[in-house]
Amino acid sequence: MKSLLRKLLENQFIRFGMVGGSGLVVDLVALAFFWQVAGLDPLIARILSIWIAMTNNWFWNRIFTFRSEGNPFGEYVRFVLVNSVGAVINYSTYGALITLIDSFSTYLAVILATLVSMTFNFVLSKIYAFKI
């Protein structure tokens, strides 16, 4: 069992997915706060929640997924630039689901949109944001 877990944790994409899972939780909690508590429109609230989740993911990807020792500021800037393209894909998917399909769950839209953009974000993070 330990060797299976060790093998799984050696895989960068698995680690990226784990970080993405934490980012998804952060995204959902931030969205709920900005939408349900602060009263923002869910499309505006999602812009803020994506940025907060992106920052969470940068931090954990830096130390856990890519184990980077590069310049944190430069990596953050590159990560945000790279993941902003993925965020546009994510946000567009989210927006389409909640505006074009009556009564579509806002939170399910976040989950599906995140899955759509995940592989794109991994590839660009690996080759550009975290130079290893």
Stated pTM of the model? 0.87
What total of structural domains would you count in the chain?
1
Q: Which residues span the domain enclosing 92?
A: 2-129
* pLDDT means over runs of 10, the chain (132 residues): 80 91 97 98 97 96 91 93 91 96 96 91 84 60
pLDDT value at residue 82: 86
Taking the C-alpha atoms of residue 58 and residue 17, their distance in angstroms, rounded to an integer, is 13
Question: Dihedral through CA 22, CA 24, CA 28, CA 33, nearest 10?
Answer: 50
Contact 28, 53 (CB under 8 A): no
pLDDT for the residue numbered 106: 96
